[in-house]
Chains A and B, each alone.
Chain A
Amino acid sequence: MLEIRDLHVSIGDKPILKGISLTILPGEVHAIMGPNGSGKSTLAQVLAGREGYTVTAGAVTWQGQDLLAMAPEERAWAGLFLGFQYPLEIPGVANVQLLKEAVNSQRRRKGLPELDAFDFLERVKASLKLLEMDEAMLYRGVNEGFSGGEKKRNEILQMLMLEPRLAILDETDSGLDIDALKIVARGVNALRGPERAILLVTHYQRLLEHITPDHVHVLADGRIVASGGRELALELEAKGYGWLTAEAGQEARP
Chain B
Amino acid sequence: MIPSTWIDMPAPGTLPEHRREALESYLAQGLPHTRLEDWHYTALDHLARLPLHPPAAADVTPVIDEAPGHDLIFAGERLIETRSSLPASLLHPLAEGELTAAPTLAPGTALSALNAALWKSGGYLTVPRGQRLERPVFLRFLADEPEAMLHPRSLIRLEAGAEVVVVESYTGATAANYWCNPVTEIELEAGARLTHIRLIEEGTAATHTGLTAVRQVADSRYELLDLSLGGRVCRHELYLTLTGAGAACRLDGLFLADGRRHSDHHLRIEHAVPGSMSRATYRGVAAGRGRGIFDARVLIRPGADGTDARQDSRNLLLSPHAEIDAKPQLEIYADQVQASHGATVGRLSEDAMFYLRARGIERHAARRLLLAAFAGEALGLVAQAGLGDWLMPRIEARLNEIGESIK
Contacts and interface: CB of A to CB of B under 8 A. Distances in A.
A101 B376 contact: no
A146 interface: no
Contacts of A77: 360
Interface in B350-407: 350-352, 354-363, 365, 369-370, 372-374, 376-377
A227 interface: no
Contact of A102 (B349, B351, B360): B360
Contacts of B355: 84, 87-88, 90
B361 A73 contact: yes
Interface string B36-78: 0000000000000000000000000000000000000000000
Contacts of B376: 92
Contact of B361 (A48, A49, A51, A101): A101
A92 B263 CA distance: 24
Contacts of B358: 48-50, 72-73, 75-76, 81-82, 84
Contacts of A212: none
Given A51-B350, A51-B354, A72-B354, A92 B372 contact: yes
Contact of A91 (B354, B359, B373): B373
Given A98-B356, A158-B359, A162-B360, A105 B351 contact: no
Contacts of A109: 360
A49 B365 CA distance: 18
B360 A106 contact: yes
A97 interface: yes
Given A72-B354, A97-B369, A98-B369, A92 B359 contact: no
Contacts of A82: 358
A184 B268 CA distance: 53
A94 B374 CA distance: 13
A22 interface: no
A11 interface: no
Contacts of A97: 369
A88 B374 CA distance: 15
A93 B370 CA distance: 7
Q: Which of B350, B355, B359, B365 has the most CB of A within 10 A?
A: B359
Contact of A98 (B351, B359, B363): B359
Contacts of A88: 349, 351-352, 355
Interface of A: 48-51, 71-73, 75-77, 81-82, 84, 87-88, 90-93, 97-98, 101-102, 105-106, 109, 141, 158, 162
13 contacts: A49-B354, A49-B357, A71-B357, A72-B354, A73-B360, A75-B358, A87-B355, A90-B355, A90-B369, A90-B373, A91-B377, A93-B370, A93-B372
Given A76-B357, A98-B359, A101-B365, 8 more contacts: A49-B354, A73-B360, A82-B358, A90-B370, A92-B373, A93-B369, A97-B369, A105-B365
Interface of B: 349-352, 354-363, 365, 369-370, 372-374, 376-377
